[in-house]
Structure 1
């Protein structure tokens, strides 16, 4: 717990508006991806078909879309950012693995790698000063 507090203090001392914009853009991107998946379920089923051989295909369909939509909203507002990103990590790692287990889509692979990198950054950095987390913490 002390490590998280130390990371938050460091992040709040080194906060920049551009990083908040990147966090908001990440949240909006994940939300839009969730909407895209929920409006086109056959596309999502086709994407996860290489992993479906392992099992749990319908579980994945029902985990990916809400996690992207709810997590995207939370990340955009900066509310429970680290928890929302932890929920995204298995999805993003799976998105990378799907490219190696099935047909390689270099655009999807690059997008998944870039999103994973940004998520890992915000997992360490946190939500920053211009966020709901910071607002609620300061209003106590």
Structure 2
């Protein structure tokens, strides 16, 4: 717990608007991907076709869309950012691995890799000073 407090203090001392904007853009991107997967679940099923025979495949399909939808909203507002990103990491790692198991789609690979790297950055950086987490912490 002390490590998280230390990271939060460092992040709040070194917060900048472009980083907050990047966090919001990441959250909106994940939110729109969640909406896209909910609206057209066949796209998601096609993405999972290389691993459809693995146990838990249907559970995974039902985990991805809500995790992106809810996690994206939380990340955009800066509320429970680290927890929301932890929920995104298995999905993004799976998105990268699917490109190597199935048909290689370089655009999806690049987008998934960049999203994973930005998520890992915010996993350590936190939500920053301009977030709901910081606001609620200051209200205590």
TM-score, structure 1 normalization: 0.99
Where does residue 30 of structure 1 map in the other structure? 30
Equivalent residues in 2 for 1:6-45, closer than 5 Å: 6-45=6-45
Shift of residue 23, structure 1, vs aligned partner? 0.1
Q: Indicate whether 1:80 and 2:80 are aligned.
A: yes
CA distance in 2, matches of 1:13, 1:50: 45
Shift of residue 62, structure 1, vs aligned partner? 0.8
Shift of residue 126, structure 1, vs aligned partner? 0.1
CA distance in 1, matches of 2:113, 2:98: 12
Shift of residue 54, structure 1, vs aligned partner? 1.4
Shift of residue 53, structure 1, vs aligned partner? 2.2
Shift of residue 60, structure 1, vs aligned partner? 1.1
Q: Indicate whether 1:129 and 2:129 are aligned.
A: yes
SS of residue in 2 equivalent to 1:10: helix
Query: Please, which runs of 5 or more residues in structure 1 have no aligned partner?
Result: none
Query: Please, which runs of 5 or more residues in structure 2 have no aligned partner?
Result: none
Shift of residue 50, structure 1, vs aligned partner? 1.2
Aligned residues: 140
CA distance in 1, matches of 2:53, 2:113: 23
SS of residue in 1 equivalent to 2:103: coil
CA distance in 2, matches of 1:28, 1:83: 17
Q: Kindly report the root-mean-square deviation, in angstroms, between the aligned alpha carbons of the 2 structures.
A: 0.6
After the TM superposition, which segments of 4 or more aligned residues of structure 1 sit over 6 Å from their partners? none
Where does residue 52 of structure 1 map in the other structure? 52
